[in-house]
Structure 1
Amino acid sequence: MSNGFVMRSLDEVRFWSRIMKEHSLFLKLGFRCDDTQLIHEANQFYAVFEEIERRSNAFTSETDPEVIKRFNVEVHNAASRIWAFKRKVLGLILSCQLPGANNFPLLVDHISREAFYFRNRLEELNTGRLDPLPDAIINENVFFLRIMADHAKFIGHLLDPSERQLVEQSRNFSHDFDQLLFQARDLESMRPQSQTVPLLDQFLDQNRISVKSLRDFKKTAKELIESCRIKSIIHPLLADHVFREAERFLIIIDMLESSLTKTSAG
């Protein structure tokens, strides 16, 4: 294990622990006031991931890799627990045991997928079993394209219906990302034959263009919400949250593109 392992681990933990912390808050805000046990559990997870975030920021690139490996195991356990909590909440919603609550089933499924992604990434880092580049390109894009499509749907449903133009833009983004996701899954089912450098390069380029457009739309929506210039029930932190996830996807696309370029040049 090396400095690269330490920095990659800290990057994942710092980003996703904040995301998990915010998921806890969003779930809590969507529960009914008499769902006291669920609210208590959400508050506990908020505190757990806030502490993980704090501790991760105290580590540096010089930290002993063995210390980070143990930290990753601890965070993996926390991510597994919040995943189970989210799936429990989803089950309650789908069995009509939380009537009148405000957490969409798709949103709860969405945030549970992110928790599962996070715990798997920590497992991969600790065992050194990261996907080969061609698989990583397809797998990361399949995961994040679905996340982006979901975001567009949530934004459209949380805007006030009278914000007709923004609602229509959200629907268009939802459609576009559904189509990109279908394309990614087609590429996925055609592998390994589909994993040529030209196809993967075009795949990344096309997705980058669409993600930048969605990122810019989210940025505008975030600014409008923060300045109270549009009507919605979107929490300002949620607007910032989905914007950061689009930024994260763009960083990953750039990293994958850079690695693909080096591989083809070598």
Structure 2
Amino acid sequence: MSDAFVARSLDEIRFWSRVMKEHALFLRLGFRCEDTQLIHEAQQFQAIFEDIERRSNEFPLSTDPHTIREFNTEVRNAAVHIWAFKRKVLGLILQCKLPGQNNFPLLVDHVSREANYFRNRLEELNSGRLEPLHDAIIDENIFFLKIMADHAKFIGHLLDPSERKLVEQAREFSNDFDTLMYQAIDLSSMRPQSQIIPLLSQFVDENRVSVKSLRDFKKTARDLIEECRIKSIIHPLLADHVFREAERFLFILDMFERSLSGMKVNKREILF
């Protein structure tokens, strides 16, 4: 179990520290030139999480669990601080104190939810109180389905309006994932009676189909943006960022499917 703890901790930190680093960059790019203090804070967070990402990749899986537990605490504190920064920015935007900046309120809320998720995951790992499988299946899906729905909305709004077909595809994905999210919320409200393997298995399978389609759409959009073949204001790194998060969700869904079928999950992979 100590090996699994180290593997799981490093996996989470390597993935989410890169996400946090990129969030800081995206927020910085959206601020106005005169928002020098916010730009400076974003740059600091970018550097902090870049350093965390670098250090996480230097730890071997044989690292003493005590060392990783201390590292988790350090990273958790950094996640708390970037969450607070994001919520501060959201408040300023909603109070119309940053007129002309280019960060959507929903995007700032979105990235703060991911910071909170990261913080909670590290707390769960250090406390050894991970959710039981059947609860994790529902809760992880609610979280990630909302994330995927948000991504579709962002893509639709950041594509040039003249890219009518792609904009319409993004809108369809947004509607699809909103529906899936509400289905997941309904399943959650029926707990614990809804937590039976046939229902959960169908739930995971249905979501996987839609996530694969969205993942492929994101990959196509990313490639087209990198090749300058479509019109948009989407940063190429943002296109890759949302693609990687869809890949992450698919990875988690695969782990759920294997766990529900009774298959063993390698300790190097995500464990629920």
Q: TM-score, normalised by structure 2?
A: 0.96
Match of 1:220 in 2: 220
CA distance in 2, matches of 1:261, 1:192: 19
Secondary structure of 2:161 counterpart: coil
CA distance in 2, matches of 1:261, 1:60: 30
Unaligned runs of 5+ in 1: none
* Shift >6 Å, 4+ stretches: none
CA distance in 2, matches of 1:227, 1:198: 44
- Superposition pairs for residues 232-251 of structure 1, below 5 Å? 232-251=232-251
* TM-superposed deviation, 1:260: 1.1
Match of 2:161 in 1: 161
CA distance in 2, matches of 1:31, 1:61: 39
* TM-superposed deviation, 1:184: 0.2
Q: Does 2:82 match 1:82?
A: yes
Match of 1:200 in 2: 200
CA distance in 1, matches of 2:127, 2:41: 30
Q: How far does the alpha carbon of each residue in 1:82-129 deviate from its partner, in whole angstroms, 9 at most, with x for none?
A: 000000000000000000000000000000000000000000000001
Which amino acid is the alignment partner of residue 111 of structure 2?
Answer: I
Q: TM-score, normalised by structure 1?
A: 0.98
CA distance in 2, matches of 1:102, 1:2: 44
CA distance in 2, matches of 1:186, 1:60: 41
Q: How far does the alpha carbon of each residue in 1:225-257 deviate from its partner, in whole angstroms, 9 at most, with x for none?
A: 000000000000000000000000000000111
- Superposition pairs for residues 13-28 of structure 1, below 5 Å? 13-28=13-28
CA distance in 1, matches of 2:222, 2:248: 16
CA distance in 1, matches of 2:129, 2:108: 28
Secondary structure of 2:207 counterpart: helix
Match of 2:51 in 1: 51
C-alpha RMSD of matched pairs (Å): 0.6
Q: How far does the alpha carbon of each residue in 1:144-173 deviate from its partner, in whole angstroms, 9 at most, with x for none?
A: 000000000000000000000000000000
Which amino acid is the alignment partner of residue 122 of structure 1?
Answer: L
CA distance in 2, matches of 1:171, 1:37: 35
CA distance in 1, matches of 2:63, 2:34: 45
Match of 1:253 in 2: 253
Q: Which has the higher contact order (CA 8 A, sep 6+)?
A: 2
Match of 2:146 in 1: 146
Which amino acid is the alignment partner of residue 177 of structure 2?
Answer: F
Unaligned runs of 5+ in 2: 264-272
CA distance in 2, matches of 1:256, 1:42: 35
CA distance in 2, matches of 1:60, 1:9: 12
Secondary structure of 1:140 counterpart: helix
Secondary structure of 2:33 counterpart: coil
CA distance in 2, matches of 1:32, 1:111: 19
Secondary structure of 1:182 counterpart: helix
